[in-house]
């Protein structure tokens, strides 16, 4: 009897315990469900508050970066083609802060509104969505003509369009300059030297370009743009300035422009393999974007009308450059070599004697300083991109 009583008590205890555990589980799941629905409710409230704050922001007067007040005589009306792109948006910032009236023209092929959104609504600023292969009629004193895709994947994406932009687009800008008596600065490139047989490259060198290779739409397009400039200067008295720009880097570069600076920084930041195409012995020199902007403005306002190299003559092999970036970023990315690409220039270094002599210009920003700024920019952009990916997955 005692034994039976004991067994009964144990069974009773076990049943009571299971019941209690089940009740706790039910209660927990109720709290959990309640928490989830409360969180959803809170999220909805936050979303509606954010949208109200954004509406209020739109109503409140926008704060612009500081600009100088210029007199009527010193204030110029300046057109910047490709103004929403990497280089030109920095140029726009400088011209705006100097107090000029700036009109940006862009078809947003590779440019982005966010590069210039801080000026939208400013009384000195105007943005026109326009493709420069169509004529444009505006009254201006100076034209900085930078519209053209610049990185190989972008300009090879639609080679015919790249040629049209650099030929028909340039004719349209030179024609506009002739009609309104404006001075025009053409953004040419070190690519007019092709895979150079002269080192460093000076402006008297005629270049070594493959006219039918994959890069020719850009290289030859820019060479025609230069020819057109001097034809308009000779025949139509248009005042032209020609900048042969070498590799430039800095914030607002495209994340996916496929060039060495953006590739290496992204790979290093994500601890991915840093890929070198070819032997790694090919050289490049890199100029920080603010140095280029200084040079472009000096050239535009100078009396010098022959082509001028704007670039940083400090030369690095691609191998060295990969290690510089890896050292600054830190991380554990291995550096690996892959097959080279067709017509890749093997040596690139500007001779900048002309720029020094006629513009008093030489680059000031050391590579490690410029790279740190650029890496910071890429870091933020990658964080934003990852946040977008996560929110897309949540949707």
Ligand X SMILES: NC(=O)c1ccc[n+]([C@@H]2O[C@H](COP(=O)([O-])OP(=O)(O)OC[C@H]3O[C@@H](n4cnc5c(N)ncnc54)[C@H](O)[C@@H]3O)[C@@H](O)[C@H]2O)c1
Task: Measure the CA–CA gap between 169 and 175, rounded to whole angstroms.
Answer: 10
109 binds ligand X (CB under 6 A): yes
β strands within the chain, DSSP E: 77-81, 101-106, 125-129, 142-145, 183-189, 240-245, 248-249, 274-277, 283-285, 287-288, 308-310, 315-317, 335-338
218 belongs to the catalytic site: yes
CB atoms within 10 A of CB 151: 18
| 78/333 with CB nearer ligand X | 78
286 binds ligand X (CB under 6 A): no
| DSSP notation for 79-130 | EEETTTSHHHHHHHHHHHHTT-EEEEEE--SS--GGGTGGGTT-TTEEEEE-
Site for ligand X in 142-171 (CB under 6 A): 146-150, 154, 165, 169
261 binds ligand X (CB under 6 A): no
378 binds ligand X (CB under 6 A): no
- Residues touching ligand X, count (CB under 6 A): 28
| 144/333 with CB nearer ligand X | 144
Among 91, 132, 299, 308, binds ligand X (CB under 6 A): 132
Non-local CB neighbours of 388 within 8 Å, separated by 6+ positions: none
267 binds ligand X (CB under 6 A): no
| 229/333 with CB nearer ligand X | 229
| 154/333 with CB nearer ligand X | 154
Task: Measure the CA–CA gap between 135 and 176, rounded to whole angstroms.
Answer: 8
Phi/psi at 391 (nearest 5 deg)?
-70, -30
| 110/267 with CB nearer ligand X | 110
Among 131, 219, 220, 294, binds ligand X (CB under 6 A): 131
307 binds ligand X (CB under 6 A): no
Task: Measure the CA–CA gap between 164 and 272, rounded to whole angstroms.
Answer: 37
Tokens of 42: 């809170």
Question: Hey, what's the torsion of the CAs at 149, 154, 160, 161, to 10 degrees?
Answer: -50
Among 189, 266, 282, 312, binds ligand X (CB under 6 A): 189
Q: Least distance (Å) from ligand X to the CB of residue 194? A: 13
Among 6, 19, 108, 206, binds ligand X (CB under 6 A): 108
201 binds ligand X (CB under 6 A): no
Contact window for ligand X (CB under 6 A) among 27-35, 103-111, 205-213, 352-360 = 103-111
Q: Least distance (Å) from ligand X to the CB of residue 109? A: 4
Q: Least distance (Å) from ligand X to the CB of residue 179? A: 19
| 169/196 with CB nearer ligand X | 169
DSSP bridge pairs for 288: 249
Phi/psi at 260 (nearest 5 deg)?
-60, -40
β strands within 294-394, DSSP E: 308-310, 315-317, 335-338
Task: Measure the CA–CA gap between 15 and 198, rounded to whole angstroms.
Answer: 92
CB atoms within 10 A of CB 263: 19
Among 67, 76, 80, 86, binds ligand X (CB under 6 A): 86
Tokens of 27: 């209660």
Per-residue contact string for residues 216-255; x = within reach of ligand X by CB under 6 A: -----------------------------x-xx-------
Strands 77-81 vs 101-106: parallel, antiparallel or unpaired: parallel
Q: Least distance (Å) from ligand X to the CB of residue 190? A: 6
Q: Find the catalytic residue in 218, 249, 288, 316.
A: 218
| 67/136 with CB nearer ligand X | 136
Task: Compute the 3-state secondary structure of the chain and give helix, strand, coil in percent, each to the nearest 5.
Answer: 50, 15, 35
Q: Which residues bind ligand X (CB under 6 A)?
A: 82, 84-88, 106-111, 131-133, 146-150, 154, 165, 169, 187, 189, 245, 247-248
Instruction: Catalogue the active-site residues.
Output: 218
């Amino acid at each position: 009897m005692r034994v039976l009583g004991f067994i009964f008590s144990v069974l009773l205890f076990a049943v009571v315990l299971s019941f209690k555990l089940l009740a706790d589980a039910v209660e927990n799941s109720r709290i959990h469900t309640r928490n989830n629905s409360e969180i959803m409710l809170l999220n909805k409230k936050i979303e509606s508050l954010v949208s109200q704050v954004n509406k209020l922001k739109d109503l409140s007067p926008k704060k612009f970066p500081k600009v100088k007040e210029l007199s009527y005589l010193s204030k110029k009306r300046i057109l910047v083609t490709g103004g929403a792109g990497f280089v030109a948006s920095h140029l726009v910032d400088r011209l705006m802060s100097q107090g000029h009236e700036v009109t940006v023209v862009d078809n947003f092929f590779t440019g982005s509104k966010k590069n210039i959104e801080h000026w939208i609504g400013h009384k000195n600023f105007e943005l026109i969505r326009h493709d420069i292969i169509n004529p444009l009629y505006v009254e201006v004193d100076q034209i900085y003509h930078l519209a053209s895709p610049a990185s190989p994947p972008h300009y090879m994406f639609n080679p015919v369009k790249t040629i049209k932009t650099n030929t028909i687009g340039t004719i349209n800008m030179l024609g506009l300059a002739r009609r309104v008596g404006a001075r025009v600065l053409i953004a040419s490139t070190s690519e007019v030297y092709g895979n150079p047989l002269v080192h460093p490259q000076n402006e008297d060198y005629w270049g070594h370009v493959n006219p039918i290779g994959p890069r020719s739409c850009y290289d030859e397009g820019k060479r025609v743009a230069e020819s057109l400039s001097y034809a308009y200067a000779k025949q139509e008295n248009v005042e032209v300035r020609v900048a042969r720009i070498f590799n430039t880097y800095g914030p607002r570069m495209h994340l996916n422009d496929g060039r060495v600076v953006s590739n290496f920084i992204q790979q290093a930041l994500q601890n991915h393999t840093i890929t070198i195409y070819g032997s790694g012995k090919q050289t490049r020199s890199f100029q920080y974007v603010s140095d280029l902007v200084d040079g472009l403005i000096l050239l535009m306002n100078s009396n010098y009308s022959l082509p001028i190299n704007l670039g940083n003559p400090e030369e690095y092999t691609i191998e060295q450059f990969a290690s510089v970036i890896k050292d600054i970023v830190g991380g554990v990315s291995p550096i690996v070599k892959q097959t080279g690409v067709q017509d890749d220039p093997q040596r690139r270094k500007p001779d900048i004697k002309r720029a020094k002599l006629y513009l008093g210009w030489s680059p000031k920003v050391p590579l490690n300083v410029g790279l740190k700024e650029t890496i910071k920019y890429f870091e933020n952009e990658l964080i934003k991109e990852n946040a977008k990916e996560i929110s897309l997955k949540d949707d």
